[in-house]
Amino acid sequence: MELLDNLALGFSTALLIQNVLYCFVGVLLGTAVGVLPGIGPTATVAMLLPITFSFEPVTALIMLAGIYYGAQYGGSTTAILINLPGESSAAVTALDGHEMARQGRAGPALAAAAIGSFIAGTVATVVLAAAAPPLASVALKFGPADYFSLVLLGLIVSIALARGTALKALAMIALGVLLGTVGQDIYTGTPRFVFEQRELYGGIDFVSVAVGLFGVAEILRNLENEQTRTAIVSKVTNLWPTREDRRRIVAPILRGTGLGAALGVLPGGGHVLASFTSYAVEKRVSKRPQEFGRGAIEGVAGPESANNAAAQTSFIPLLTLGLPAHPVMALMIGAFIVHGITPGPNVINDEPALFWGLIASMWIGNVLLLLLNLPLIGLWVRMLRIPYQVLFPMIILFAAIGTYSLNFNAYDVYAIAFFGILGYILIKCGCEPAPLLLGFVLGPLLEENLRRALIISRGDPSVFLTRPISAVLLALALAALLVAVLPTIRQRRAVVFAEEE
């Protein structure tokens, strides 16, 4: 009964006129920008983050969540229509979705993606509502040593799910943690790495880092590859799947939903792993494995369901532990902090309307996505005809204006340019910026809990091994590090990312 009361509180918050309106705006903007090839949910949320900072906290977070799963859906649209996934997890969708589009069956492919996403999102929202409260109550028992070990585990696990070699991913995390230490010491107030720049005393601005690394850098990379953009942008017809299509997608949607809900909580890229795992499972259990890669509708429905379910359940570690499962959740942590809310297990008790309102809004957002995207598919197709050289300068301009409006400080705009160039260089060197952002967000949390644990234990480092929870988490972190560098795992990661590209 308590769960029903909490959901009633959530829906009463989420169904307020302004919250429904901004949820609608979020999914619309997210889909619109997510449709643009190569941008994806992380860059979309990063660039649209500044416009939410003047809203009420619950409204801002509802809109950001809408942007996130709207952009996830938009990524599948580009994967199906022009074979350019808007996001890593949509890479599998392109394998069969684009083949269906080339065969004149883009409509059923888009419908299968939409229906699978809606069912998976609905189920995953129920899982999130049921799992979050008990996890939050367990997390309240964590001490500083346990939190340090938990954050360390999250960073280590993200290495295995990052593009490139494990050494490069580890280097990106270390660089992110280092950037997170810029500013004044959290206990003594001593300036660190500020180089006598007054603007750095408060630390590097999170929004500038996010917009630069994921917005500007991705745009520079896509401008370089514009010639690869070949589209099937003829009129999409026959959206509703046939009876045979509907029969074939039921089981993949259910299996994908289960896989995505379970794997979405993994740090680093659980949603990517969920999509690839779902595709592999569907190909293995199918009676027509030869059709996969040639237009099998199961190859669209399963991965898209897994992707959307993972997108919803990735909020579980964010809302209960204050830990981001991937870069978009790191951006959500930034939004929490900007609004004066500390993400973690106390949110469910301190801000129940926000907590349950955000969860309820996910179901509303999924309904809006279903109602919006199929009727507006013609609009998304026409958006694909806009030239990059017109579209991308406008996106950068609005992102820069939004960032500047937060503090009215030109230094933040210069930081966008700096991190945009840095992100582009990292991409060209084969390094993925996502672990850097995770390290940047989690670095201060890692340092704070490390120092707090040592202060409480009077400088005795054995506290991390004598506390059972901390010892188990450190053992898991060590095991994850060993697994990440095993030759078989390295080869499997190389195959996955080669397929993605």
CA gap 41, 39 in Å, rounded: 7
Contact 33, 71 (CB under 8 A): yes
CA distance 87 to 113: 15
- Whether the per-residue pLDDT at 229 is higher than 60: the answer is no
Q: What is the mean pLDDT of residues 56-72?
A: 87
CA dist 281 and 292 (Å) reads 12
Dihedral sign (CA 162, 165, 167, 172):
negative
Task: Mean pLDDT check: name the lowest of 125-129, 333-337, 380-384.
Answer: 380-384
In 181-235, where does DSSP find H-type helix? 206-210, 217-224
- The amino acid sitting at 329 is M
* pLDDT over threshold 80, residue 238: no
Q: What is the pLDDT of residue 85?
A: 65
Q: Tell me the per-residue pLDDT of 169-187, one tens digit each, with 9 for 90 and over.
A: 889 999 999 998 998 888 8
Residue 420, pLDDT > 60, answer yes
pLDDT band at 160 (very low <50, low <70, confident <90, very high): low
Q: How many helices (H) and strands (E) does the chain have?
A: 24, 2
Is the confidence at residue 496, as pLDDT, over 60?
Answer: no
Give, in degrees to the nearest 5, the angle at Cα 331 between 325 and 332.
80
pLDDT value, residue 177: 92
State the Cα–Cα distance between residues 49 and 60, nearest whole angstrom.
9
The 10s digit of each residue's pLDDT in 253-274 is: 999 999 888 888 776 666 777 8
- The whole-angstrom separation of Cα 128 and Cα 208 is 31
Calculate what percentage of the chain has a pLDDT beyond 90. 10
- Residue 244 burial by Cβ neighbours in a 10 Å radius (0-12, 13-18, 19+): exposed
Strand partners, 191: 184
- Going by their DSSP bridges, the two strands 191-192 and 183-184 should be labelled as antiparallel
DSSP 1-29: -HHHHHHHHHHHHHTSHHHHHHHHHHHHH
Residues 6+ apart with CB under 8 A from 72: 30, 34, 41, 87, 89, 90, 117, 307, 308, 311
User: Considering only CA atoms, which of 456, 449, 328, 349 is closest in space to residue 66?
Assistant: 328
**Range 406-423 average pLDDT:** 86
At 333-347, the pLDDT tens digits run 888 888 888 888 888
| 38: alpha, beta or left? (left if phi > 0; alpha if psi -120 to 50) | left
Q: Is the pLDDT of residue 218 over 90?
A: no
Cα–Cα distance measured from residue 224 to residue 221, given in angstroms and rounded to the nearest whole number: 5
- What's the confidence (pLDDT) of residue 174? 92
CA distance 100 to 304: 15
pLDDT digits 0-9 by tens, 84-112: 666 666 777 888 888 888 888 888 888 88
**pLDDT at residue 226 tops 60:** no
Contact 300, 85 (CB under 8 A): no
Q: What pLDDT digit, counting tens, does each position of 73-90 carry?
A: 777 877 787 776 666 667
Please check the confidence at residue 386 and state whether its pLDDT lies above 60: yes
Report, in this order, helix, strand and coil percent for the chain, each rounded to 5. Answer: 75, 0, 25
Tokens of 325: 């499962």
pLDDT confidence band for 500 (50 / 70 / 90): very low
Q: Which run of H or of E encompasses 75?
A: helix 57-82
Residue 165 reports pLDDT greater than 80: no
Q: What is the spatial distance between Cα 308 and Cα 366, in angstroms, rounded to a whole number?
A: 10
Calpha distance 48→86 (Å, rounded): 16
Q: Is the pLDDT confidence value at 469 over 50?
A: yes
Residue 382 pairs in a beta bridge with none
